Structure formats: C-alpha cells, structure tokens
C-alpha cells in the first residue's frame, strides 16, 4: 500500500513537471543574445516568449542609434527640439535624473565623445588629446533640454546621446512584464548578462553566477527572489588594446576617456533599469565613491559586487547570506553595512 502511494505521488510530480516545463528560447536582439525562460506549459511559453521578443524588438527600433528611424537617430540628425515617443522621453528623463544623483558619472551624452574611441576597429588607436579636448564640453547632461509637455528633446550643437547604458535594463523589465501579463508566473529575462527573474524555480530561489572576469570561470553563485534583477558592467567584453593598455567601452564623462580602476561591477535591485544604469555609473565612480553613494542613498535598494583592477572584491553585506563561493577569492571586503 505504502509503495502504491509513493508511485502515485511520483506520477503526479512527473505530470506536474510536464505541465510546467522550464522553456528557454534565445534570439539575437539588441546587439546581443536575449534568453527568455518561462516555466509553464509549452504552448503558453511559445506564445508569451514570442510577445516578449516582439516587445524587445519594438524597444530596439525606438531606441537603437543604429536604426534609421529610431528616436535616438532622429535626435542625432536634428538641429532643434525633436518630438519623441513617451517611452523614450521617460527613459531620457530618468537618465538625466540618475546623472544628477551620480554627479554626472552616468551621462547619456557620453555619446558626444564615444565615437572618437574606435575600439571596434582592429587597428585601434586612442584619439588625440586635442580631439578629446574639443569634444569634452559636449558631454554634459545639463545641456539636454527636455520639454515634458511637448515631449521634445533638444541637444546643443554637436552633442549626441546614447541609451546603451540603460535601454537593456528597460528591455529586460518590459520582457518580464509581458511574460507575466501572458500568464507565466515564473521565469527569467536575460540579455547579455543583465537579467530579472520572477516567481521561483520549482518553489526555490533562482540562482545566477558571477564569472571571474579574467579567468572566465564561475566564482560564486547567488540566490535571486521574485523580481530581483542584476546588471553587470565589465571591462572584459568590449574593449580594445593599444600598446599593452586596455581601453573599455564605458566612458568617464569627466575625462572623456574610458573609465579606469574597475574590472567588474554588478548591481542588484528590484528594477532592471536601475540595476543597468547604476552598474555603468559605479564602474565610472570606483569603489570609494560607490560605497559613499550607497550609504547616502539606502532608499534606492541597491546591492553591489565590485571587483577592482587589483582583483579585490567588495560586496554589500546584505548579499552575504545569498552568496555561495564556488572558488576561494583572495580578498573580499563586505561594505555598505546598514
């Protein structure tokens, strides 16, 4: 009798597992690979992920600097105020707000100088100081003029903006919203390392890992709960080398040069937009300024794992119970105790 019950329970579990499969679908979008995971029956997963991919494609068409008709391309071409979609306007306003809070470390007008850094070019050479000096004045979020009523954006002549440091977070957030609206109650939206999870993995937490930026092996795993998001900014994916020096794709708006001092910055919060933007900001700010910022702004709900160029790790004390080290890291300092 006991045996029969056990067999019946096993069958039930198998059935439940059939109904609620972990479905992952991947597509190239936003210049990276987007992976969507939906824990549900296959039919729901197919429908929901299709809608979420459509949503990401829509955001890309609106915000990519490489798309002819995008809001960002139109702003770049114009000589006066440009009317943009309410979504682009909202993301630009939010970006300017984050610039104010971070003392300009995050600044979407970095694009006014970034084009001088041809780090994708195999024959990469750093730009001349004179060219950087001329462009540096154009990197200034205070020169982005926003008209909330008319939904227009106006830049100073020669200025450019780019949403590369925040739009991926927005796409992750919208993808999760779409998956949930389509009836999926557990899953993940992940785009080039930035992700948000929702629900649970078979009743337990979702788990993500952090790579050693130099050795490329997994250093630690970390548990994520409903709507936890993480974004990582690193110097190890997109960079160029010249005479033995590494030049990354995150610009320090103050110098007009690639930010130095950090190797990897991961930010955890409940909002993928915030995680994405602050990962970029903290990469520019470095350890000391980031630790001060976290102390001053506890209401933002941010936690971090930072690795500086000396390969020292700094992690928010609030993450301690969620982290499992898979490999011993030489130095870890717990910061941001509240």
- Interface positions with Mg ion (CB under 5 A): 231, 276, 279-280
Runs of H (alpha helix) within the chain? 2-19, 42-63, 71-77, 86-101, 111-114, 129-136, 167-181, 272-296
Strand-pairing partners, residue 36, are 25, 189
Classified as helix, coil or strand, 311 is coil
173: contact with ligand ADP by CB under 6 A: no
Residue whose Cβ sits closest to ligand ADP:
164
Phi, psi values for residue 166, rounded to 5°: -145, -25
Distance CA 316, CA 336 (A): 5
Cβ–Cβ under 8 Å, residues 75 and 175: no
Collect all residues with Cβ–Cβ distance below 8 Å to 311 and sequence separation of at least 6: 214, 263, 330, 331
Instruction: Give 38 or 155: the residue with its C-beta nearer to ligand ADP.
Output: 155
Instruction: Give 186 or 280: the residue with its C-beta nearer to Mg ion.
Output: 280
Question: Which of the choices ligand ADP, Mg ion, none does residue 159 contact, using the CB cut-off of 5 to 8 A by kind?
Answer: none
* Least CB distance to ligand ADP at residue 114 (A): 6
Distance CA 128, CA 144 (A): 26
Q: To the nearest 5 percent, what fractions of the chain are helix, strand and coil? A: 40, 30, 35
Residue count at the site for ligand ADP (CB under 6 A)? 19
- Which member of 280, 290, 303, 316 binds ligand ADP (CB under 6 A)? 280
Instruction: Give 140 or 182: the residue with its C-beta nearer to ligand ADP.
Output: 140
Distance CA 147, CA 89 (A): 9
164: contact with ligand ADP by CB under 6 A: yes
Q: Burial code of 105-124, b = ≥16 C-beta within 10 A, e = fewer? A: bbbbbbbbbbebbebeeeee
160: contact with ligand ADP by CB under 6 A: no
Binding mask 177-216 for ligand ADP (x = CB under 6 A): ---------------x------------------------
Distance CA 180, CA 178 (A): 5
72: contact with ligand ADP by CB under 6 A: no
108: contact with ligand ADP by CB under 6 A: yes
Cβ–Cβ under 8 Å, residues 47 and 182: yes
Instruction: Give 164 or 213: the residue with its C-beta nearer to ligand ADP.
Output: 164
257: contact with ligand ADP by CB under 6 A: no
* Least CB distance to Mg ion at residue 163 (A): 10
- Which member of 160, 173, 174, 249 binds ligand ADP (CB under 6 A)? 249
Stretch that binds ligand ADP, among 126-134, 157-165, 199-207, 326-334 (CB under 6 A): 157-165
Give me the residues that bind ligand ADP (CB under 6 A), please.
106-108, 110, 162, 164-165, 192, 233, 237-238, 249-251, 253, 276, 279-280, 284
């Amino acid at each position: 009798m006991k045996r029969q019950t056990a067999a019946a329970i096993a069958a039930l579990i198998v059935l439940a597992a059939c109904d609620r499969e972990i479905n992952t679908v991947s597509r190239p979008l936003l210049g990276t690979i987007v992976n969507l995971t939906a824990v549900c029956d296959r039919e729901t997963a197919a429908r929901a992920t299709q809608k979420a991919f459509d949503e990401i494609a829509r955001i890309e068409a609106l915000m990519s600097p490489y798309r002819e008709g995008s809001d960002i391309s139109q702003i770049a071409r114009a000589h006066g105020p440009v009317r943009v979609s309410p979504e682009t306007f909202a993301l630009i306003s939010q970006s300017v707000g984050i610039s104010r809070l971070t003392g300009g470390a995050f600044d979407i007008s970095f694009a006014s100088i970034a084009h001088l850094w041809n780090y994708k070019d195999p024959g990469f050479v750093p730009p001349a100081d004179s060219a950087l000096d001329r462009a540096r004045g154009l990197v200034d979020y205070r020169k982005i003029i926003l008209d909330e009523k008319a939904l227009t954006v106006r830049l100073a002549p020669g200025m450019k903006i780019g949403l590369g440091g925040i739009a991926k977070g927005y796409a992750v957030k919208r993808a999760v919203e779409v998956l949930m609206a389509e009836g999926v109650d557990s899953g993940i939206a992940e785009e080039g390392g930035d992700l948000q999870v929702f629900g649970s993995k078979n009743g337990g937490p979702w788990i993500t890992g952090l790579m050693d930026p130099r050795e490329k092996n997994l250093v630690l795993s970390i548990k994520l709960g409903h709507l936890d998001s993480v974004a990582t900014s690193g110097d190890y994916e997109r960079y160029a080398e010249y005479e033995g020096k590494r030049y990354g794709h995150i610009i320090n708006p103050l110098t007009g040069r690639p930010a130095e001092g950090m190797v990897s910055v991961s930010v955890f919060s409940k909002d993928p937009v915030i995680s994405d933007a602050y990962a970029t900001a903290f990469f520019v700010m470095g350890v000391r300024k980031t630790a001060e910022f976290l102390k001053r702004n506890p209401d933002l709900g941010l936690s971090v794992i930072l690795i500086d160029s000396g390969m020292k790790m700094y992690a928010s004390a609030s993450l301690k119970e969620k982290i499992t080290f898979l490999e011993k890291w030489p130095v870890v300092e717990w910061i941001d105790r509240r």
